[in-house]
Amino acid sequence: MSIKLIIVFLLMLMVRSDSDLQIDKTGWRKINSAAAESWPGKNVVFVKVILAAANPKSITPNHCVYKVTSGAAVMGYLYADNAMGKFDTFDFAVLFSTDLRIMSTVVLTYREEYGGEIASARWLRQFTGSTTPFEFGHNVQGISGATISARAMTAGMNNAVARMRELKSKYQL
Amino acid sequence: MIRLPLILLFIISWQIAAAQQVDSLKLTESTINNFVATNEGNKLTIGLYGQVDFNKPIVENRRTNGKFDVHRIVMSMAYRFNSKVHFATEIEFEHMDEVYVEQAFLNYKLQEKVHLRAGLLLVPMGIINEYHEPTTFNGVERPNVDKVIVPSTWRQVGAGFTGRLDNASLKYQLYAMSGLKSYDSGALFNAKNGYRSGRQNAGEITVSSINVAARVDYYGIRGLRVGASFYGGDSQSSRYNGIDSDNNYELQSADSSVVSISIGGFDARYQINGLVLRGQFIYAANSNVLQYNTATGSDLATALSGYYVEAGYNVLRHCKTTTNKLVPFVRYEDYDTNLKVINGQSRLRGYHRNEITVGAGFWVDEGAVLKADYQILNDESDAKATGMFNIGIGIAF
């Protein structure tokens, strides 16, 4: 009996071994309102994609991916990750269409004292619609007083696009 | 006993499903919403910024000595108690013989829009007072408007609110604070240095009345950031201490050692295609100046004002092989610590100064810069302009 329980426990551990980024209530509220703008009139449901068992090595420690569904149809994807500002990390989420165009970007949690300006909806809008590599200071404008975080966000967006492309081509997400 | 194999079967199939990239966890929004945030970020963060300078005045027909200066080394430390509460502090070593606490406050995040904070806070006036790391500005030394008109690094003990409105691209700050000190057995404000000697360096601060500081930043236009600042209140005076609250003579005498200060500021920073522009305008108005000057023998002006405009360009912007920046820049400053004076007092034209600074900064990293510039220092009087050569390093991490 006890051995069986241990086996169950170990199996559970294996399943839950991916240390995903956890999205809190405020985060989901932001994602939901961004999704409502990206897919107007659709009641979308987020379905988590479990990646751990498939290819553990390719998983960056913190990101997580959801399918955005409406009824039986897949509308797009949600990618959430964190990036490093000057002193602390911040969490962000990107909504993709099924063909991996960026629909919307939101900063979920910003922790450090300076640089929170990157959470501005208008600043984040410059990523929308684009799938080209982002180059800070070229096709991504900085914000005075938030340079380090704006640069980190730009790199985070490039990661997000690359990761989603990889998932889509390798695993027919 | 029949349940256990079932659970095992379920988990194994879950594993296989996961391996095949089939959605294995069908969660509705409501279940997802029950998740609790576990990614709390860093607990303790430590940083440092500083600048080491060499300054040499250039005066015609005169020998001058240069000066090496470990101008400032500032250590910052922040501790996050939980996702809502953090404490931040900055301890400064200036010219290697002065130690100050620049900031020390507790921040409580009610929500992103509303943070409550209390402690030793920077007064949000102009650009440099809040963003004073040497890697964030051009020139070896800070603009003099941010030294003579805004007494940077200007900090006071207080409490208030700050927050970000992400949908409006706005950041606001609103604090009730202790004030500048105008009198401590002698006048601390004057026409030459403005309020600078009235800064209270956070130790045993005299409080005789409460001041207010407010600032709004707007950054909704890409590349542009504009800010408006206000500071107002009566200055602090040691004369109030211990006086009989019914004694009108003593009260009047104390009142005459106080200046009512209102400072307004507007600043803008714009960056596009490697071009970096910034400008700042500050206007300060004082009242009760006649009484103050009469009672203390000072020569404080009723209005002081200053502005600067600056342009720089990153010439390495198109160089694909490097992320370093080489930014030549030019800055023009104009400031007058006796713009308006009380009737009967004459303006000193020498206190209306202007400066042209031409130089360059070489950022070998985001957090490390080598700087050199030349300043032409002039004023409204007939005195000849003098020069100043500056060279220095700045770091921030």
Reported as a single tens digit per residue, the pLDDT across B103-156 is 999 999 999 899 999 999 999 999 999 999 999 999 999 999 999 999 999 999
Report the pLDDT value the prediction gives residue B321, as an integer from 0 to 100.
87
Report the pLDDT value the prediction gives residue B31, as an integer from 0 to 100.
31
Residue B30 has pLDDT above 60, yes or no: no
For an interface test with A, give the residue of B39, B120, B133 to mutate (most A CBs within 10 A).
B39
**How close, in Å, is residue A7 to chain B by CA atoms?**
8
Residue B20 has pLDDT above 70, yes or no: no
The average confidence (pLDDT) of chain B is 88
CB atoms within 10 A of CB A164: 19
Confidence of residue B332 (pLDDT cuts 50, 70, 90): very high
Which residues in chain A touch residue B45, judged by CB atoms under 8 angstroms apart?
A: 87-88, 112
CB atoms within 10 A of CB B263: 24
Q: Could you give the percent of chain B with pLDDT greater than 90? A: 71
Q: Name, in order, each residue with C-beta under 8 angstroms of A54's C-beta and a sequence gap of 6 or more.
A: A171, B18, B19, B20, B21
Alpha-carbon distances, residue B231 vs B25, B48, B271, B284 (angstroms): 55, 29, 27, 9
Which residues in chain B touch residue A90, judged by CB atoms under 8 angstroms apart?
A: 41
Q: Name, in order, each residue with C-beta under 8 angstroms of B100's C-beta and a sequence gap of 6 or more.
A: B91, B92, B94, B201, B202
User: Can you tell me the mean pLDDT for A109-137?
Assistant: 91
Strands (E), chain B: 44-58, 67-80, 85-94, 98-111, 114-122, 155-165, 170-177, 181-183, 211-218, 224-234, 236-237, 260-272, 275-287, 303-313, 325-340, 352-365, 368-379, 386-396
User: Can you tell me the mean pLDDT for A157-172?
Assistant: 87
Residue B282 has pLDDT above 70, yes or no: yes
Which residue from B15, B80, B274 is facing A53, i.e. has the nearest CB? B15
DSSP state of B384: P
Report the pLDDT value the prediction gives residue B19, as an integer from 0 to 100.
39
User: Do B23 and A23 lie within an 8 Å CB cutoff?
Assistant: no
User: Do A8 and B8 lie within an 8 Å CB cutoff?
Assistant: yes
Considering only CA atoms, which of B129, B122, B37 is closest in space to residue B83?
Answer: B37
Confidence of residue B60 (pLDDT cuts 50, 70, 90): confident
Report the pLDDT value the prediction gives residue A19, as an integer from 0 to 100.
52
Residue A55 has pLDDT above 80, yes or no: no
ω before B153 within 30° of 0 (cis)? yes
Which residues in chain A touch residue B167, judged by CB atoms under 8 angstroms apart?
A: 121
User: Can you tell me the mean pLDDT for A19-23?
Assistant: 70
Report the pLDDT value the prediction gives residue A4, as an integer from 0 to 100.
57
Residue B203 has pLDDT above 70, yes or no: no
Which residues in chain B touch residue A12, judged by CB atoms under 8 angstroms apart?
A: 11
Confidence of residue B323 (pLDDT cuts 50, 70, 90): confident
Confidence of residue B241 (pLDDT cuts 50, 70, 90): confident
User: Do A48 and B25 lie within an 8 Å CB cutoff?
Assistant: yes
User: Can you tell me the mean pLDDT for A37-49?
Assistant: 91
Parallel/antiparallel/unpaired status of strands B155-165 and B170-177: antiparallel
Environment class of residue B382 by beta-carbon count within 10 Å: exposed (0-12), middle (13-18) or buried (19+)? exposed
Q: Which residue of B has its CA nearest to A17?
A: B15
Which residues in chain A touch residue B19, judged by CB atoms under 8 angstroms apart?
A: 53-54
C-alpha A73, offset from chain centre = 20
Environment class of residue A60 by beta-carbon count within 10 Å: exposed (0-12), middle (13-18) or buried (19+)? exposed
Report the pLDDT value the prediction gives residue B247, as an integer from 0 to 100.
86
Reported ipTM: the value is: 0.81
Which residue from B18, B25, B78 is facing A87, i.e. has the nearest CB? B78
Q: Which residue of A has its CA nearest to B87?
A: A113
CA angle A85, A91, A95 (to 5 degrees): 125
DSSP state of A39: S
Residue B3 has pLDDT above 70, yes or no: no
Residue A6 has pLDDT above 80, yes or no: no
DSSP state of A109: E
